Amino acid sequence: MKRKSEKSGVGVIGGGSWGTTIAQLLARKRNRVILWVRDEALAREINEKRINSKYFPAHRLSSLIEATTSMAKVADESQVIFVVVPSRVFREVVRRLGDFLHGEHILISATKGIEDETFKRMSEIIKEETPVKKVGVLSGPNIAEEIMRGHPSATIVASRFELVKSKVISLLNHRLFNVYGSSDVTGVELAGTFKNIVAIASGIAHGKGFGVNTFSYLMTEGLREMKILGEAMGAEGDTFISLAGIGDLIATCTSQYSRNFRFGKALSEGLSPDEALKKVNQTVEGIYAAKVMYHYAEKHGVNLPLLTAIHDVIYRGLKVEDAIEKLTRVPQEE
């Protein structure tokens, strides 16, 4: 089914914490939002009770948000669609969505991750699995709980199409949520992925009772490695000192709401990676990013000590204490 029609709404694919938050942000600008969720029970809860009890039991959702389990409905009633699902299922979901899309749609990835095996970014997967050419990515220091509480925040939309950037800015920009444009899609996606790995290290440090000196050290090293890897892949260096880079890094490495931070903290308490993930009980993108980024860096001979240490803690049984010891011996450039 591929047909053009009048589009009266904006679509969001994914009813997790960030997908729900984006839907609420869109509704705040008086947009009618069609929110796709997998579970019929969740769709009923949102439509009838105006809450998403798993993620935001204390926040009432706008009456302009309509939840549905039909991707066809989202595609038929929306020109702009935000895709906000975990990276592990991103290709599967986008492939299904692609059956209902045509060339006039605009797709925005708000997923921070890289596909395992292929090392494809989410925007690349969209282009492979759908007929959509006008693609963008959304990334920045966006802790969902804080945004739902109305705390001021900002983000970046990156695309090679000016139309995509202007559309997203008009849909989301608000006095409490500033949206800036960028043309560096590669850099914005990689920054949003790599910062999750650094946040795990930050959570470990917090759990061990270390102070701001340690946090500063880890974030500086994380930013250095992020920039090295990003530039090796063709990203612009300035992207990593923007909201998408250092901005998101600071937020994710310091917030108790960050899943990756909480995962690292659980590791510091002696839990295994599987136990720590169960304790967080939500998707932790840094787990998968560490694996994918490590193998890419290894294949291309890029030395990234922080990335290697976190990878080895998760996948090779390296003790947290030994990882910290390794990181404190990372040589710094003068």
The fraction of the chain above a pLDDT of 90, given in percent, is 92
Same domain, 156 and 43: yes
Cα atoms found within 13 Å of the Cα of residue 201, Cβ hemisphere only: 33
The dihedral region occupied by 270, where left means phi > 0, alpha psi between -120 and 50, and beta the remainder, is left
Residue 328: the pLDDT is 74
**Cα(9)–Cα(13) distance, rounded to whole angstroms?**
13
Q: Does residue 331 carry a pLDDT above 80?
A: no
Residue 96 falls within a domain, yes or no? Answer: yes
> Looking at 183, 210, 243, which one is the last position of a domain?
183
pLDDT in tens, 265-277: 999 999 999 999 9
Mean pLDDT of 113-129: 95
Residue 216: the pLDDT is 93
> Looking at 123, 156, 183, which one is the last position of a domain?
183
**Position 129 confidence tier, pLDDT thresholds 50, 70, 90:** very high
Residue 313 falls within a domain, yes or no? Answer: yes
Count CB neighbours of 73 within 10 A.
16
Same domain, 164 and 217: no
Same domain, 152 and 213: no
Domain count, the chain: 2
Cβ neighbors of 84 (< 8 A, separation 6 or more) are 12, 13, 14, 16, 18, 19, 22, 110, 111
Q: Does residue 298 carry a pLDDT above 80?
A: yes
Count CB neighbours of 189 within 10 A.
27
Same domain, 263 and 135: no
Whose tokens are 């029609």? That residue is 5
Same domain, 161 and 224: no
**Cα(187)–Cα(230) distance, rounded to whole angstroms?**
6
Residue 326: the pLDDT is 81
What CATH number is attached to the domain comprising 259? 1.10.1040.10
- Check: CB of residue 13 under 8 Å from CB of residue 19: yes
Mean pLDDT of 273-300: 95
**Position 332 confidence tier, pLDDT thresholds 50, 70, 90:** low
pLDDT in tens, 78-98: 999 999 999 999 999 999 999
Residue 15 falls within a domain, yes or no? Answer: yes
**Cα(296)–Cα(300) distance, rounded to whole angstroms?**
6
Q: At 157, give phi and psi (nearest 5°).
A: -110, 125
Mean pLDDT of 207-220: 94
Same domain, 115 and 176: yes
Q: What is the rounded average pLDDT for all residues in the chain?
A: 94
Mean pLDDT of 253-265: 96
What is the chain's Cα-based Rg?
Answer: 19
Same domain, 154 and 279: no
Residue 188 falls within a domain, yes or no? Answer: no
pLDDT in tens, 173-201: 999 999 999 999 999 999 999 999 999 99
Same domain, 38 and 177: yes
**Position 2 confidence tier, pLDDT thresholds 50, 70, 90:** very low
Same domain, 70 and 171: yes
Residue 8: the pLDDT is 85
Residue 117: the pLDDT is 86
Residue 90 falls within a domain, yes or no? Answer: yes
Cβ neighbors of 245 (< 8 A, separation 6 or more) are 187, 191, 195, 223, 226, 227, 239
Q: Does residue 257 carry a pLDDT above 80?
A: yes
In the sheet where 65-68 sits, what is the strand order?
Answer: 65-68, 33-36, 9-13, 78-83, 106-109, 134-139, 153-158, 177-182
Domain containing residue 290: 193-327
Same domain, 27 and 173: yes
> Looking at 155, 183, 211, which one is the last position of a domain?
183
Same domain, 120 and 80: yes
**Position 311 confidence tier, pLDDT thresholds 50, 70, 90:** very high
Active site residues: 195
Residue 204 falls within a domain, yes or no? Answer: yes
Same domain, 175 and 239: no
Residue 139 falls within a domain, yes or no? Answer: yes
Residue 150 falls within a domain, yes or no? Answer: yes
Q: Does residue 3 carry a pLDDT above 90?
A: no
Residue 333: the pLDDT is 55
What CATH number is attached to the domain comprising 163? 3.40.50.720
| Token pair listed for 216 | 């500063």
Angle at alpha carbon of residue 291, lines to 256 and 255, rounded to 5°: 10
Q: At 7, give phi and psi (nearest 5°).
A: -105, 110
